[in-house]
Amino acid sequence: MKHFFHNSDESNHAFILLHGMGGRETDLLPVAATLDLSMSVLGIRGDVIEKGSHRYFKRLEDGSFDKEDLQNRTEELIEFIQQKAKNIKHLHLIGYSNGANMAASLLLSKPDLFKSAILFHPSISPHLLGKESLEGKKVLMTAGAIDQQSPPGQTATLKKFFTELGASASLSLTDYGHELMKSEFTVAAEWWEENKLSGEEE
């Protein structure tokens, strides 16, 4: 898998960055920099190509998500992350759009591997995800009030699902659509600081 990896000697925490449809492994570096410059960063490019654009798992002809491919790609990505970040104790997911959907799948497939997740504009349905306990996990989600690709109602359903599994889940709405806004960086930074997620070095 094509990826970007910055291994920091200042922290035993790392961000796992998962881009949106058509993106690349460095797209979310500004978000990571806003949250904590001291941490390691692993950005991974999706290796599924759809109409020339990179994404993390396949869609069926009707546009719905391919559940079998999602599960297979999730397992492959978990193995890749474990290999690349094997010496890092605390992993934090950051995903946008298709990357947020994959981040949700990663978290529900192996919650012990990840400490928190920031999901910008996720749209994945809970029935495509596992049902492992998320007790002690911190999750922030954002959604656009006029987002046609990831309707805010779907994000609210996902928040409820995470909460029922024991996660501390938050949802922040913007007045915009599917685009990732700088105001969402600010919301993420405030949430990160409130939860002191990079301050735990046990």
27 noted as active-site residue: no
Q: Please tell me the predicted confidence (pLDDT) of residue 120.
A: 98
- Express each pLDDT in 17-33 by its tens digit: 999 999 999 999 999 99
Whether residue 136 is predicted with pLDDT greater than 80 in this model: the reply is yes
Q: For the chain, what percentages of helix, strand and coil (3-state, to nearest 5) are there?
A: 35, 25, 40
Structure confidence by residue, pLDDT tens digits, 52-101: 999 999 999 888 999 999 999 999 999 999 999 999 999 999 999 999 99
* Tens of pLDDT, residues 100-115: 999 999 999 999 999 9
Please tell me the predicted confidence (pLDDT) of residue 55.
98
Q: What is the pLDDT of residues 28-48, one digit of tens each?
A: 999 999 999 999 999 999 999
Select which of 121, 147, 150, 198 is catalytic: 147
Q: What domains does the chain contain, in order, with CATH numbers?
A: 3-195 (3.40.50.1820)
Q: Do residues 98 and 20 make contact, with C-beta atoms less than 8 angstroms apart? A: yes
3-state secondary structure of 5: strand
147 is catalytic: yes
Q: Is 127 a catalytic residue?
A: no
Single out the catalytic residue among 19, 36, 40, 97: 97
pTM: 0.96
High-pLDDT (> 70) share of the chain, %: 98
> For 153-168, how does the pLDDT look when each residue is reduced to its tens digit (9 = 90+)?
999 999 999 999 999 9
**Alpha carbon of 111 to those of 16, 25, 186: distances in Å?**
14, 22, 26
Report which DSSP code applies to 113: G
- Alpha-carbon distance of 186 to 58, in angstroms, equals 32
Catalytic residue among 54, 90, 121, 178: 178
Strands 40-44 and 3-6, by their bridges, are: antiparallel
Q: What is the mean pLDDT of the chain?
A: 95
DSSP helix/strand/coil, 169: strand
pLDDT at residue number 199:
66
